[in-house]
Amino acid sequence: MRAVIQRVTEASCTVDHVITGKIGAGYVVLLGIEDADTDEDVQWLAQKIVNLRVFGDENGLMNKALADINGDILLISQFTLFAQTKKGNRPSFIRAAKPDKAIPIYERMIQVMTALTGKKVETGIFGADMKIRLLNDGPVTIIMDTKDKDNH
């Protein structure tokens, strides 16, 4: 499972001209799911994201986590995070999980993040053509992969 986490001052997701999710300060999390992903990966990644300390403290240092700023999460499914571009010019998405596997994991991630933050996690619509509007703050963008969880 891969996540691209962007610290934002505001963000929204629109599908067919309808806003499906909207946040103020917090994270836009683009989430890619592959077949090998498990609930253990969901738990690990959700904990890492929620506890990530990249918000400025009174000294301007990145010491505050999402809860410290009462921040929100906009979670967007994005299979293209598993694009393979080694051969040719057209990406292959063979590593990305098919919807029957990915949707339950995506929904589980929403549940876990909601439980960890105590707040509603805003979302897009899985598989839809989504338009994401955001104001990246910093910019701060962090990439995480659950394959890294075993490498201390």
Q: Mean pLDDT, to the nearest integer, of 92-98?
A: 90
Q: What is the pLDDT of residue 59?
A: 94
Residue 112 has pLDDT above 60, yes or no: yes
As a whole number of angstroms, the distance between CA 29 and CA 110 comes to: 11
CB-based contacts of 55-60 (< 8 A; 24+ apart in sequence): 55/7, 55/25
If one counts the domains in the chain, the total is 1
Task: Quickly count: other Cβ atoms within 10 Å of residue 79's Cβ.
Answer: 19
Q: What would the two tokens of residue 57 be? A: 């403290």
| Cα three-residue angle 102-108-114, rounded to 5 degrees | 140
Per the CB < 8 A criterion, the answer to whether 96 and 89 are in contact is no
- The parent domain of residue 77 ranges over 2-148
Per the CB < 8 A criterion, the answer to whether 112 and 46 are in contact is yes
Q: Mean pLDDT, to the nearest integer, of 55-75?
A: 96
Q: What is the pLDDT of residue 108?
A: 98
At residue 110 the predicted structure's pLDDT band, cuts being 50, 70 and 90, is very high
Question: Which residues are designated catalytic?
Answer: 80
Q: Mean pLDDT, to the nearest integer, of 91-115?
A: 95
Q: What is the pLDDT of residues 34-59, one digit of tens each?
A: 999 999 999 999 999 999 999 999 99
- CB burial of 103-126 (b: ≥16 within 10 Å; e: otherwise) equals eebbebbbebbeebbebebbbbee
Beta strands in 24-130 (DSSP E): 26-32, 55-56, 62-64, 72-77, 122-123
Tell me the average pLDDT of the chain.
95
* C-alpha to C-alpha distances, 20 to 23, 45, 131, 150, nearest whole angstrom: 11, 23, 10, 35
**92: CATH:** 3.50.80.10
Q: What is the pLDDT of residue 21?
A: 98
Q: What is the pLDDT of residues 6-24, one digit of tens each?
A: 999 999 999 999 999 999 9
Q: Mean pLDDT, to the nearest integer, of 138-143?
A: 96
